[in-house]
Structure 1
Amino acid sequence: MLYFARWKTILLWLAVVASVLVALPNLFSKEQLKQFPSWIPSKQITLGLDLQGGSHIMLQMQRSDIVKERLDTTVSDIRTNLRDANIRYTGLSGTGQAIQVRITDPAQVEAAKKALQSLTALVSAGGLTGGSLQEATLDDAGDGLLKINLTDAGIDYRMSSALTQSIEVVRRRVDELGNTEPLIQRQGSDRIIVQVPGLNDPQRLKALLNQTAKLTFRMVDTSMPVSEAISGRPPATSEVLYGEGEAAEPYLVEKRTIISGEDLVDAQASFNQQNNEPVVTFRFDSRGSQRFAQATQQNVGKPFAIILDNRVISAPVIREPIIGGSGQISGNFTVQGANDLAVLLRAGALPATLTVVEERTVGPSLGADSIRAGVSAGFIGAGLVVLLMIGLYGFFGVLAVVALVANVIMIMAVLTLLGSTLTLPGIAGIVLTIGMAVDSNVLIYERIREEFHSGRSLIQSIDTGFSKALATIVDANFTTLIAAGVLFFLGSGPVRGFSVTLAIGIITTVFTAFALTRWMFALWVNRRRPKHMPKGVRTGIFDGTNIPFMGIRRYTFAISVALSLAALGGFGTVGMKLGIDFTGGSIIELKAKQGDADIAAIRQELSTLNVGDVQVQSFGDKSSVLVRLQAQDEGENGEQSAVAKVRDGLQDSYEFRRTEVVGPSVSGELTKSATIGVVVSLLAILVYIWIRFEWQFAAGAIIATLHDVILTLGLYVVTGVEFDLSSIAAILTIVGYSLNDTVVVYDRMRENLRRYKKMPLDVLIDTSINQTLSRTILTSVTTLLALLALFLFGGEVIRSFTFAMLFGVLVGTFSSIYIAAPVLIAFRLRPEGANRGDDEKEDKKKAIGGAGA
């Protein structure tokens, strides 16, 4: 009914006003917001790294490192425990997770088991659930041979503890850089995600995070020359380590650690007062000071080595005892090198090496360009949609525009409240929402026209139009919501940002269509008491159409099957040009600091770097270039090394605007999750449509959707456009849009099936498609206008994404008519030829009259 209780009106406008207040701070800078009264909301949308610049780095802890550390520790504990118990042994060794030792005296086997009992004791796992676990098991193999095995549960426990410790160390290191609001979080059982917005020097961040920073102080072994130790066999208690730099000097160093970095309480970069060289001063705690003083007193005149991650950074001679608990490290540092070492020492050592398996870095200038491009595309797309709606619907179009503005404001408000990150694909999601949001209004308006032309009064038509459109809009939008949900749970980074804005847009669209638009109609009706449709409504050009769509269904179906088979054939033989998200490798976007980019010179420079296959192509304007590096054979570390070589060779002439590095382990996971995402979304939508309709409708919707997905994949094969993670987002959005369109047509068919029980199915389908033709064409046009604005003005980064979406909208509209509908006939939703004759003629007359001829 077109009546709103006062409390409903109050709640409606409270929601709108609250949305305006929450979204308003996004129009001002942070400096301007500080001048506002404290009671005014000041929270703003968090911009993604692709909009404000910064680095996204995924670090992985290697399980093999934890296993090796536990193996070495356990071997050392076995040696210590047996020696303390005066038990003689031989053959102590370990590989993988297994250790063995032979007790030479069989009479001491039981005593040895008792001495090693502490290794197999239960350890508290901690956490909310409590519980305990065994880190090692001890087996007697007979003949004095004891076998100790490290359990998987124990390794998992050590991995979890090490990852928790690593997160704290990483956080301290990132905080030392002085960046605001870094995001550091755990992902899975062995990874850490680090996001640092506004970072201008990502290389420094990676250098800080890549180093374990285990600092030890050991004595230099002077019992034999180091050259003799290298060529022969060093003493069992010593090992050869090397210094830093290309001409790394070797040192023979004792394995015994005098003192470690765990005893440090402070480290600062400063300058040597004698030669003004950068150095790092350090200070120990009381225990460390005592041990350091004792060691230097006993070894005056002897050299000792300061070792960082198995590299000797300094080897001074102890001139006199150092009893103050402080000292300095010199090693030909630069000022930044000394600062970074001090940062590493203050933050503490990582329990294991962290490897960069994924990197996505955007320079601040590219972020600013992306914002401008995204906002410009949004305004242009919205402007085109507004002009179309007002031009076709007049006064009704004005009401739709008001609802559309409120819709966008609510999206921004919800993003602000949730603290969601707005990415460039997220802006694309908002623009797409603008194009699709008018679909709800078009459905309502066309229903109102249809009811009015069938003989109802305008007020009755408006009321009935809203009521009948509700189920269609909910069904159509829910299918898209399912696709957005799958994108959110299985996607990452920008793809997840796109899914969030799309999902929020769907919800706010339904709210504004059935609350705000209906309220405005109620206000208009109650004040003006109109008797006729406004003169500005100009969408009657399709009224009375009786296009026999199903008459050519066999031809269109055959063409679609042929194209689908060709697409699958091309996919299987030629294949798609896969992006680094699925193959691994690196993408680097460069911009010449002066003039145009010299692609030939870049190719020549990179050909000498031994980084495998390199592709260089223009990107956008003449000053920009995109460099692609193949996946490196050395794995994740090889990827980082290749990017470093490119940076060293080109950074003098080019600005590094964007860097994306995906290691082989991550690319394999992305491929798996992308495939699962498409399958899961299709299954979820199949179940929903099956519940809401009959099984033939569900089968028809899935076949039509698979048709759209296959042809879109064929588009990637034919055009050679790179298929990356954003392409998966495009395909899932096409799935949602195609089903949206299909469900609208199906909903009208279901209604007509109940209304015209004797009409042959092919005639009923034609009637239903003709009745919804205005809505189908208008929705497709508005969505295409929004996407076209994104394609032309949204920038190069999302151009391939919007290109696929443009194609998907066209194919989705086609499949709703020529794939989804004929399938119902093939599956005999209603037996063909039944009840033809006079009943058919009567039903056709009723249908044509009901459509508003």
Structure 2
Amino acid sequence: ITRQGNDGVLVQMPGVSDPSRIRDLLGTTAQMRFHWVTDNASSANTIVLPNAEGNQQYRLQKQVAMDGEHIKDAQLGFDPNTSEPVVTFKLDNTGSRIFAEMTKSHIGVPLAIVLDNKVLTAPVIRSVIAAGAGEISGNFTPSEAKDLALLLRAGALPVPLDVLEERTVGPDLGSDAIEMGVTTGLIGAALVFAFMITLYQRWGLIACTSLAINIGLIIGLLSAFGATLTLPGIAGIILTIGMAVDANILINERIKEESAKGKAAGLAIPAGFDKAYATILDSSFTTLIAVSLLFMFGSGPVKGFAITIGIGIFTSIFTAVAVTRQMMGWATRNRSRQVLTFGNNWLNQSGLSRINFMRGRVVGLVASAILSIGSVILFVQPGLHYGVDFTGGTLIEMQSSTLSVEQVRDSLAEHQIEGASIQEFGEPGNYLIRVSQQNSDAGNTVNLVKNAISAKDSAASYPKVDMVGAKVSGGFADASILAVLIAGGGILLYLWLRFEQHFALAATATILLDLTKTIGFFAITGLEFNLTAVAAMLALIGYSINDKVVVFDRIREGFRANPDKPLLEVLNSSIGATLSRTVYTSATTFLALLPMGIAGGATVSSFALPMLFGIVIGTSSSVFIASPILYYLGRRREQRGLPQLKPTAEEIRASLAHIP
């Protein structure tokens, strides 16, 4: 149970099979009072209340004899004479004193026990009750008596509760989803491990060991926090596997560069870690900005996804910098004077450094602009396929082996359920029923739909139910837009502080172009744009900026090493130096998510498929979009007589030392 905003409460209950009962239970205010029964029909100080069944009326004194707030405990019990379920209650010290005094002066008078303006029972007081305990009977079933005892223990709610959003996942669908998530996660991890070992051989094995420890730390911390395992949480672990490899690839590529210069292991390893450390921190922090917004503005599963990614960022830094370094030290303990070798060199570094990547800058920018404009047009017409998270309403997955689409439609029409759309999906007999939001009591809509279907097929089942009120959907849309804007602004500010103005503008502009293309992907494919889609968009912001930071960090390093070198040469050499890392990292993240994208099904398709598309777009944009934009902004700075980087403190001190 968690608080949502100023007037909302989120309640998640694994294992609950009857949400309507929980809805009714939460909607009961449980305001319990004791009133004396009176036969004075003419008095203005009396009220008339019905019993729970509604077949009998009681005239009671308007004045409350005692409030239910003095009940300190209530439990289900059974009458020893009739074996009928009853509710036994105990009063606090104040309540015991009041109860003893009032029963002493009203022997022979019926005392009505009133719950939410209905008389549960009205036993006659036979003697003084001084023990501070009592019993409530009223033809209860065991379940009703248990619920009443629970309500009395919890205390009275000051106001009625409105259910604005309800999501139900059946046990079969839930277990299948978890099994699918675990299976695709294991397959994705296996593909990443195989890729790393093939790429770096024994150093890849060290990276995989560090990655396995990282996964263990994530699961351990989630367990320590008491987190609930959800499918988005599993997706977060899978994405973390791909992103965590990035730090290890950065380290290995840096050590490989130092080794290529002829440095022995004892010098190459510390130098590689030192040069990779700043880049790892920058890329992790920018990703953390997007993830923190997921946690702030998301709800339910999205918060779980954000927590998983956030934990994964910190554990990835720890395992990459501490664990990997320690294991590499052990592996080279007796070979610190030897030059290290790094297995397969699929992307030759010297060959990449001679490629003129910037020659295609105009083509890249024009192609990107055309695709982004086309995506905006698709966003307007035909538009996105919005889920109930944005539109409000009810989405019900229904399974029936006997009903056709026409029969389902006819049944809903017979029960005056308007604005419903029925779609068959997956295997025969599986239907998606969407009902637009018509009133605030969307929970009643779910019951109406189930009653309509049960009239035709009583054996129909409902593996999944999503109900979102208009207030929730409107607030979710506003929060989603705000989250994306703040994520872009936060990343822009951080890059402005860590790099320079033109670096930050180039990265932010590229992210916007990446996001528009991803929205176009949703429009073309018809994927539902829902809660997980927003999570995918914010995750893509973090992933894409991560890639840009690595390239920009190398460009900054090139400017510092060769301040007089032409701008085009610095950009080309920096892209060539980081291209192997960019391709390898993208490949591992793609492999980690690929099994989920293929076998994940409709449950995670709005997350996995856009992420796979975004990895390709984000990787290509780092080379063909971000760097050309940085080039033109850098040219503008040169024309204004400004350096590409602000001087460091060491450079300022060195220049001052030459002043007489």
Change (3 A) 1:342 1:418: closer
1:196 is matched with which residue? Answer: 13
**TM alignment of 1:176-575, pairs within 5 A:** 184-216=1-33, 217=35, 219=37, 251=57, 253=59, 256-257=62-63, 259=65, 262=68, 268=76, 270=78, 285=96, 287-288=98-99, 291=102, 297=108, 307-311=114-118, 322-323=126-127, 329-330=137-138, 333-345=140-152, 347-457=154-264, 459-528=266-335, 531-534=338-341, 536-541=343-348, 543-545=350-352, 546-575=354-383
Deviations 1:725-766 (A, max 9, x none): 222211111001111111111111112222333443233322
Residue equivalent to 1:584: 392
Unaligned runs of 5+ in 1: 1-183, 225-234, 836-853
Partner of 1:64 in structure 2? none
Shift, 1:683, TM fit = 1.5
Matched, 1:818 2:624: yes
AA in 2 matched with 1:361 = T
1:775 corresponds to which residue? Answer: 581
Q: Which moved more, 1:368-377 or 1:526-535?
A: 526-535
Cα shift at 1:670: 2.4
- Tell me which amino acid in the other structure corresponds to 2:236: G
- Pairwise CA RMSD of aligned residues? 3.5
Deviations 1:513-534 (A, max 9, x none): 2222222322233324574543
Aligned residues: 626
Select which of 634, 645, 649 maps to 1:828: 634
In the other structure, the counterpart of 1:644 is 447
Aligned residue for 1:232?
Answer: none
**Residue 732 (structure 1) aligned with residue 538 (structure 2):** yes
Give the secondary-structure state (helix, strand or coil) at the position aligned to 2:634: coil
The CA deviation at 1:776 is: 1.3
Match for residue 172 of structure 1?
none
Looking at structure 1, the residues matched to 31 and 25 of structure 2 have their Cα atoms a distance apart, in angstroms, of 13
Structure 1 residue 256, shift from structure 2 partner: 1.5
**1:616 aligned partner, one-letter code:** I
CA distance, structure 1, for counterparts of residue 135 and residue 206 of structure 2: 75
Alpha-carbon distance change, 596 to 369 in structure 1, aligned in 2, over 3 angstroms? farther
Could you list the per-position Cα deviations for residues 153-196 of structure 1 after superposition, in whole angstroms to 9, with x for gaps in the alignment? xxxxxxxxxxxxxxxxxxxxxxxxxxxxxxx4545544434333
In the alignment, which residue of structure 2 is the partner of 1:49?
none
Using the aligned pairs only, state the percent identity. 39
> Normalised by the size of structure 1, how large is the TM-score?
0.66
- Could you say what secondary structure the match of 2:546 adopts? helix
Deviations 1:120-160 (A, max 9, x none): xxxxxxxxxxxxxxxxxxxxxxxxxxxxxxxxxxxxxxxxx
Alpha-carbon distance change, 607 to 337 in structure 1, aligned in 2, over 3 angstroms = farther
SS of match in other structure, 2:465:
strand
User: Residues 649 and 442 of structure 1: is their aligned pair in 2 closer, same or farther, counting only changes over 3 Å?
Assistant: same
CA separation of 1:290 and 1:362: change in aligned 2, threshold 3 A: farther
Structure 1 CA distance for aligned equivalents of residues 74 and 218 of structure 2: 48
Query: Could you list the per-position Cα deviations for residues 435-464 of structure 1 after superposition, in whole angstroms to 9, with x for gaps in the alignment?
Result: 122222222222233333345456544443
In the aligned structure 1, how far is the partner of 2:191 from the partner of 2:530?
29
**Tell me, what secondary structure is at the counterpart of 1:617?**
strand
Q: Which residue of 1 aligns with 2:591?
A: 785
Alignment-mate amino acid for residue 168 of structure 2: T
- Maintained 8 Å contact 1:435/1:784: yes
Matched to 1:397, the amino acid is G
Q: Deviation string for 1:26-79 (max 9, x for gaps)?
A: xxxxxxxxxxxxxxxxxxxxxxxxxxxxxxxxxxxxxxxxxxxxxxxxxxxxxx
Cα distance in 2 for partners of 1:261, 1:667 equals: 39
* 1:785 CA displacement: 0.8
Partner Cα distance (1:480, 1:408) in 2: 18
1:581/1:725 contact within 8 Å kept: yes
Distance 1:583 1:347, change over 3 A: same
Corresponding residue to 1:707 among 513, 528, 533? 513
- Say whether 1:696 aligns with 2:502: yes
Q: Structure 2 CA distance, aligned partners of 1:591 and 1:296?
A: 59
Q: CA deviation at 1:698?
A: 0.3
> What letter corresponds to residue 494 of structure 2 in structure 1?
Y
The answer as to whether partners of 1:696 and 1:829 remain within 8 angstroms in 2 is no
Q: Give the direction of change, closer, same or farther, for the CA distance of 1:295–1:642 in structure 2 (3 Å limit).
A: farther
Q: Deviation digits for residues 315-363 of structure 1, max 9, x if unmatched?
A: x7x9x765466676546x5443344345434554322222222333333
- Residues 266, 346 of structure 1: 8 Å contact kept: yes
Judging changes above 3 Å, is the alpha-carbon distance between structure 1 residues 708 and 296 closer, same or farther for their aligned structure 2 residues?
farther
CA distance in structure 1 between the partners assigned to 2:213 and 2:89 by the alignment:
59
Within 1, Cα distance between the matches of 2:428 and 2:323? 48
- CA 1:348–1:504: 2 relative to 1, 3 Å: closer
Alpha-carbon distance between aligned partners in 1 of 2:90 and 2:128, rounded to the nearest angstrom: 9
Go from structure 1 to structure 2 and tell me whether the alpha carbon gap of 1:185 and 1:767 turns closer, same or farther (over 3 Å shift). closer
> Which residue number in structure 2 is paired with residue 721 of structure 1?
527
Letter in 1 for 2:197: I
Secondary structure of the corresponding residue to residue 529 of structure 2: coil
Provide closer, same or farther for how the CA distance between residues 251 and 404 of structure 1 changes in structure 2, counting only shifts above 3 A: same
Q: Which residue does the alignment assign to 2:483?
A: 677
Q: TM-score scaled to structure 2, two decimals?
A: 0.84
Contact between 2:74 and 2:150, CA under 8 Å: does it hold in 1? no
Could you tell me which residue of structure 2 aligns to residue 741 of structure 1? 547
Contact persistence 2:394–2:468 (CA under 8 A):
yes
SS for the counterpart of 2:12 is: strand
Structure 1 residues 696 and 189: CA distance shift in structure 2, 3 A: closer
Counterpart contact for 1:388–1:782, Cα < 8 Å: yes
- Of 420-429 and 610-619, deviating more is 610-619
Please say if residues 74 and 87 of structure 2, whose CA atoms lie closer than 8 Å, have aligned partners that are also in contact.
no
Tell me which amino acid in the other structure corresponds to 2:190.
G
What displacement does 1:573 show? Answer: 4.7
1:435 and 1:596 mapped to 2: Cα distance? Answer: 44
Q: Distance in 2 between matches of 1:398 and 1:551?
A: 38
1:87-236 → structure 2 map (5 Å cutoff)? 184-216=1-33, 217=35, 219=37
Aligned-pair distance for 1:468? 1.8
Q: CA deviation at 1:780?
A: 1.0
> Is contact 2:107–2:128 with CA below 8 Å preserved after alignment?
no
Q: Which residue of 2 aligns with 1:607?
A: 413
Which stretches in structure 2 are left out of the alignment for 5+ residues? 642-660
The 1:255–1:737 alpha-carbon spacing in structure 2 relative to 1, beyond 3 Å, is same
What amino acid sits opposite 2:311 in the alignment? I
Compared CA separation, residues 482 and 347, structure 1 to 2 (3 A): closer
Structure 2 counterpart SS, 1:354: coil
Residues 801, 220 of structure 1: CA spacing in aligned structure 2 closer, same or farther, 3 A cutoff? farther
The equivalences for 1:21-32 within 5 A come to: none
The answer to whether the Cα contact below 8 Å between 1:221 and 1:252 also exists between their aligned partners in 2 is no
Moved more, 666-675 or 505-514: 666-675
